[in-house]
Structure 1
Amino acid sequence: MRAVTYAAYAADNSRLKVEDVPDPRVGPGQVLIEVWAAGVNPVDWKVMAGGLDGMMEALFPVIPGWDVAGVVRATGPDTPEFAVGDEVMSYARKDVVRAGTFAEYVAVSAWSVAPKPTTLDWRQAGGLPLAGMTALRTLDRLQVGSRDTLLIHGASGGVGDLAVQIARARGAFVIGTASERNHPHLRGRGAEPVVYGDGLVERVRELAPGGVTAVADFAGGQLDTTLAVLAPGGRHASVADPAVAEHGGHWIWVRPDGAKLAELADMAERGALTVDVAATYKLDRVGEAFDASRAGHTRGKLVIEP
C-alpha cells in the first residue's frame, strides 16, 4: 500500500515521503480499514518532532496520523462487532508510534471503532475522532451542564468548535475566545465570543460578573486568565498546559474509546454536532497540511484523503 512515512524525528517536513509499505496485518480483535479520510491534528507533527519521545516508543519508519474514517475491508478473529463493508471511524492511536492512518489502509482494535454517522461526509467523519473526543472528555471531566457558564479558550479551533456545540447541547452558557473574524461563526454556534489578548479578564467579567463556573483551555498559556475569571468552586481543565494540575485543574489526555466516539456519532445523527472542514490534501501534500496546522490560524479541520 501507499503511505506517508518518516524514518527519523524531524522538526520540519524534510523527512516526510510517500512510499510503498507492506499491507497491515489484521490480528485478533482488529479490523482493517480502507482509509477514505484522515484528520490532521497538531499532535501529528509534534510527534514527528519527537515531542512525545519520553512518553511513547516510536518504531521507524513511522506512518503518522491518528484519525480515520473509512470502510472495513477485513476483520480479525473474534471481531463480531463489525463486518466487511461497514462504514466506520476511529481514533486510532496505538501504544507504539508506528502504523498510523496517513495510508491507504490501517488496522485498528475494534474497541476504538464506531459507526460513521450518515449525516457527516467522509471528510467530516475523518476529522471528528480526536478533536471530538478531546472536547467530549474535557467537558465530561468538568461535568458541564445546563447550570454552567463555561469559558472556552480557543473556541474557534478544531477542538474548541466541537466543545462549543457539545456544551450548548447540554444547555450551558458558553463564552468563547477567538479572533474577531471568527465571532460570527461562534454566534452561529450559540456562544458569546470575546477577543483574546489584553483585557480578556475584563471582557469575560462583563459577561459573567460573578465569574465562570468552568473553563476549558484548548489554546494553552491561559492559566492566569483562567484563575482570574473562575468563580469560587469553579472547575477548569486544559489539553495544553500540565501546570493546571498544580492549581486544582485537570490535564486532559484523551484515550481511544469506540463507545465515546459513538456518543459523538449519535449527536451528529441528531443534528446536534457537525464538523467544519477547512481543506483537504492528498498523501503527497501532507507537509503542506502540517504547515497549515503549525500556523494555527485555520478554522475547521484539515483532512488527508489517500
Structure 2
Amino acid sequence: MQQHDDALQSGTSRAVRLESFGGPEVLDLQAVPEPQAGDGQIRVRVTAAGLNPMDWFMTTDAETAARFGLSLPCGFGTDYAGVVDQVGAGGAGYTVGDRVFGAALSRAVADFVVVGANGNIVSGVAHHTPDGLDDRAAATLSIAGSTAAAALAVLDLGPQDTVLIGGAGGGVGVFAVQLARIAGAHVIGTGSPSSAEHLRSLGAEPVAYGDGLIDRLRTLDAGPVTAALDLHGTDTVHVARELGVPDSRICTIAAVVDGVQAANGASAAPDALENIARLVAAGRLRVPIAATFAVEDIRAAVELQAARHVHGKVVIDL
C-alpha cells in the first residue's frame, strides 16, 4: 500500500501495460503519469477490474490488436468499478464521490481510468452503481452482462421456451443462464462434467458437451428445445438445427454462421446494464466470483482466466 501512496504523491499512478503482444508474460505493472479528466470526461479511482476472455485475446498478436484499434504500448482489461474523483467541464450527471462501473477498452486495470461522461466502450463509459451492489461484482458486469443481454434480446425468451445455452459455464453464461431463467425459460446448459453443480446453482439443467450431445439432449425430460445460444463457437448451432430449432431462434456471440444472428455487447439495449445492476443489487441475479487477485499478481490472474476452467468471474483488486 505504501508503494501506491508514494506513486500518487509523485504525480504518477499504476497501470498494467504491455510493450509487446503475447500471453500473460508480457503484462507488467508500471508507473505512468496520473491521467486527468478533460472536458466532457470524468476520472474514476478504480477499486476493482473484472477480466474477460476478450482482454487477453485482443492482445495476443498485432493483427488481432489492430482489429480492436490497439497499438503498442497499451493497457489491459476493460471492465472496472470505482469512485469518481474528478469531473471535467461538461461532465454533467456525475459528482466527485459517485460510485460507478463501466468499460474502458484495454485500459481498466489501473489506479485511474478517464472515461467520457457520455462515452462508449472505446472512449470509456460509466454507469452509476446502485446501492447494494459491491464493487467486485460491479466490475464484472459490462462486457459479459451486455453481451448476454444482447443475445437474449435476439431470442426473446418466455415461459414457453426451453433454451439450450452452449458454453453456459463461462463468463457470459453466468448472466445468460440467469437472465433466461428470470424471463421464465427452462435452461439447458452445456459444460464440462466438473461444471455441472455450478450450472445447477445458476438455474440450468446441466448436460456435458462434446460427442453424443444430441443423444444426451434427447434423453432429457425437458420438452423440445425452442431456442439456442452458442457462447463458444458453432457446435451448439449445429445441434440446435438438428433438433429443429429455426435459425431465427438461434444466436451466436463468438462465431459467424450464415442465417444465424450474431450479437455482441454493442447491440445491447441502452438500459441493459443498469437493469442487470439492479437485479444483482436486489439479489435476483448472482455474480459468482471465482477468484480475486491483487494487481501485482496480474499474470497469475490472467493465466487462471485464460485457461477457461474457472467457474465464475476473476477480479483484480486495486
Q: TM-score, normalised by structure 2?
A: 0.87
Aligned counterpart in structure 1 of residue 220 of structure 2, from 207, 218, 227: 207
> Counterparts of 1:184 and 1:161 in 2: how far apart (Å)?
13
Give how far 1:148 is off. 1.8
Aligned counterpart in structure 1 of residue 97 of structure 2, from 82, 85, 92: 85
> Counterparts of 1:209 and 1:40 in 2: how far apart (Å)?
34
Change (3 A) 1:209 1:186: closer
Match of 1:292 in 2: 304
- For the 8 Å contact 1:90–1:258, the answer to whether it is kept is no
> Counterparts of 1:156 and 1:228 in 2: how far apart (Å)?
23
Counterpart check, 1:13 vs 2:41: no
Counterpart check, 1:106 vs 2:119: no
Higher RCO (C-alpha under 8 Å, 6+ residues apart):
1
Give how far 1:141 is off. 2.0
Give how far 1:300 is off. 0.6
> Counterparts of 1:207 and 1:234 in 2: how far apart (Å)?
24
What is the percent sequence identity of the aligned residues? 38
Change (3 A) 1:210 1:231: farther
- For the 8 Å contact 2:280–2:286, the answer to whether it is kept is yes
Give how far 1:195 is off. 1.1
Greater displacement, 210-219 / 123-132: 210-219
RMSD of aligned residue pairs (Cα, Å): 2.0
Give how far 1:129 is off. 1.6
Unaligned runs of 5+ in 2: 1-12, 119-124
Greater displacement, 66-75 / 262-271: 262-271
Give how far 1:216 is off. 1.0
**Paired AA for residue 254 in structure 2:** A
Aligned counterpart in structure 2 of residue 264 of structure 1, from 276, 292, 296: 276
Greater displacement, 205-214 / 283-292: 205-214
**Paired AA for residue 162 in structure 2:** T
- For the 8 Å contact 1:213–1:233, the answer to whether it is kept is no
Give 1:146-185 correspondences, 5 Å limit.
146-185=159-198
- For the 8 Å contact 1:213–1:234, the answer to whether it is kept is no
Match of 1:34 in 2: 45
Match of 2:87 in 1: 75
Give how far 1:87 is off. 0.8
Unaligned runs of 5+ in 1: none
Give 1:224-303 correspondences, 5 Å limit.
224-232=238-246, 234-242=248-256, 244=257, 246=258, 248-255=259-266, 259-303=271-315
Aligned counterpart in structure 2 of residue 145 of structure 1, from 151, 158, 162: 158
Aligned counterpart in structure 1 of residue 36 of structure 2, from 25, 50, 53: 25
- For the 8 Å contact 2:241–2:247, the answer to whether it is kept is no
Greater displacement, 19-28 / 271-280: 19-28
> Counterparts of 2:247 and 2:26 in 1: how far apart (Å)?
48
> Counterparts of 1:72 and 1:257 in 2: how far apart (Å)?
24
Change (3 A) 1:168 1:133: same
Give 1:184-223 correspondences, 5 Å limit.
184-207=197-220, 211-222=224-235, 223=237
Give how far 1:8 is off. 2.2
- For the 8 Å contact 2:189–2:204, the answer to whether it is kept is yes
Match of 1:43 in 2: 54
Deviations 1:66-91 (A, max 9, x none): 10010011112222211110111002
How many residues in Structure 1 have an aligned counterpart in Structure 2?
297
Change (3 A) 1:49 1:286: same
**Paired AA for residue 48 in structure 2:** A
> Counterparts of 2:133 and 2:102 in 1: how far apart (Å)?
14
- For the 8 Å contact 2:167–2:232, the answer to whether it is kept is yes
- For the 8 Å contact 2:59–2:65, the answer to whether it is kept is no
Change (3 A) 1:232 1:9: closer
Give how far 1:274 is off. 1.7
- For the 8 Å contact 1:204–1:229, the answer to whether it is kept is no
